[in-house]
Amino acid sequence: MWLLSSRGRPELCQKTLDACAVAKMASPGIVYVDTRVSDYPNLKLPNNWTKVLGNKDLAPSKQEFYEHYKDERFYGFLADDTLPQTEYFDTQIEEAAKDWFFVDCYDGGYANRGDHLSAGLPIPFSGAHGWGGKLVRAVGWWALPGIRQFTTGNAWTYLLHQLEIDSTLSWRKYLADVTVEHNNWRTGNRIKDETDNWEREGKNYRDADFMVYEKYRCSGEFNQIVKRVQNLREGQNKALVLVDIWDESGLSYKKDPTWWAEAVEITQNKIVPILEKARRAGWIIIHCHSGLNTLPEVVPIPGEFEVPYDAPIHLHCPKALLSEISTMYFVGFTLNICLLGNQCGIKQTSAFMPRIELILLQDCTKASAAEGRSEEENLISTLRNLKAFCKISTSDNILGS
């Protein structure tokens, strides 16, 4: 599946689509039109293309596209000032991308690849861009969350550069014999237009986007993504599921200070260290919560998945990514209610994903008094019940004794 995101350039967009048709593009594509400038009423689409109207900038439109099509084998992108020249460019890029590669091609000379290669710097994108579906799902986003447009490519070029440095595997392919010209205004092939400016609604977003990118790049989260992508490609695939780890606003209804204090101690001394280690090791992280406030120590970060209250995990995470997971660990609260019986809990997850080995970390949860039974009684009965659906272990399994 290909995406062409466009804003305020109906004529250029039409030229790109016409060039796709002439190049005998066979793959399906979506034109995302930012209607805050124009909805392109006279746009003529090739038979395999669909127009989608929205009000988002480039990066959010790419992320929205990914959220709607999380299980695609391939993700391709064309800028609205590119002109495909090579017949069947799309299928050549898709076949090269396979599952785990990023692929680009010759763009007519706009991207300065040679200087970056000789200096050992991250190589900028050129021409049309293609990603293997497993690569995008392992990263967890197609466009870095929080940016509008600037640094969309920077985030990926840096990430791929780190993968090339840290791994013996190859992650990028360049098709020199496939040409998709990039008629950026800097090439002199067209005049600079309003869309080229770094302003939206009268505000310059370039600096803000760059700050988001730099903060993310320097936070260590990029290293976590690199490790996760490597693990998934090499078949070392684990997931951590955190269920309802609330702050005081979520637990105050229990009116039991002792219970709350013990839950906080479990979270701080067991769950947080496990989460930190899982992130460093590159695990898939899944947060299942009921909409109440989450403890700050376990707030999701970009690339991690969130499942809404009492919803099954398999409907809110890419199925193709879940199929890569071999082992899934569960922690959180409360044992006899959410972890046991919710749609995101162990019983339902076992039914929906029987292939995955499920493991409950017993010292990373607590039961609660309910239905006329004490906390201890519910703990014993729930653990007995869950043995039919998962293995029972402790945090030492991850943190070590």
Where exactly are the structural domains of the chain?
2-225, 237-399
pLDDT class of 118 with cuts at 50, 70, 90 = low
pLDDT above 60: residue 114:
no
- Please state the rounded mean pLDDT for residues 271-291: 89
Summarize pLDDT for 315-333 with one digit per residue, the tens.
988 888 898 899 999 999 9
Mean predicted confidence (pLDDT) in 107-125: 67
- Cis bond upstream, residue 91 (ω within 30): no
Residue at 265: amino acid letter: E
The position carrying tokens 């991250």 is 122
What pLDDT score does 120 carry? Answer: 62
pTM of the predicted model as reported, rounded to 2 decimal places: 0.80
Q: Which residues contact 112 (CB under 8 A, 6 or more apart)?
A: 124
The arithmetic mean of pLDDT across residues 257-261, rounded, is 83
Q: Where do the DSSP E strands lie in 147-288?
A: 172-182, 199-200, 203-204, 238-243, 284-288
Listed in sequence order, the DSSP H helices in 140-220 are: 152-166, 206-218
Where helices occur in 69-125 by DSSP H, the ranges are 89-97, 113-119
Angstrom distance (rounded) from CA 389 to CA 153: 44
Residue where the block lists tokens 């990926």: 156
- What pLDDT, in 10s, does the model give residues 13-64? 999 999 999 999 999 999 999 999 899 999 999 999 999 999 999 999 999 9
What pLDDT is recorded for position 184? 86
Angle CA 312–316–321, to nearest 5: 110
Phi/psi of residue 377, each to 5°? Answer: -65, -40
Separation between Cα atoms, residue 173 and residue 100, nearest integer Å: 11
- CA distance linking residue 401 with residue 10, whole number of Å: 63
- pLDDT-based confidence at residue 371 (cuts at 50, 70, 90): confident
Q: What CATH architecture applies to the domain 2-225?
A: Alpha-Beta Complex (3.90)
Residue 92: the pLDDT is: 98
Element (H, E) at 2: strand 2-6
Radius of gyration of the chain (CA): 24
Beta bridge pairs of residue 328: 239, 358
Please provide the average confidence, as pLDDT, over all residues in the chain. 89
Q: At 235, is the pLDDT very low, low, confident or very high (cuts 50, 70, 90)?
A: confident
User: Which CATH code for domain 237-399?
Assistant: 3.40.50.850
29-34 and 2-6 beta bridge pairing: parallel
Over 80: is that where the pLDDT of 287 sits? yes
Neighbours of 272 (CB within 10 A): 15
pLDDT on residue 116: 54
With residues binned 3-state (H G I as helix, E B as strand, rest as coil), the percentages for the chain, rounded to 5, are 40, 20, 35
Q: Is residue 253 pLDDT above 50, yes or no?
A: no
- pLDDT tens for 197-207 read 888 777 888 99
Strand partners, 225: none
Q: Note the pLDDT of residue 380.
A: 93
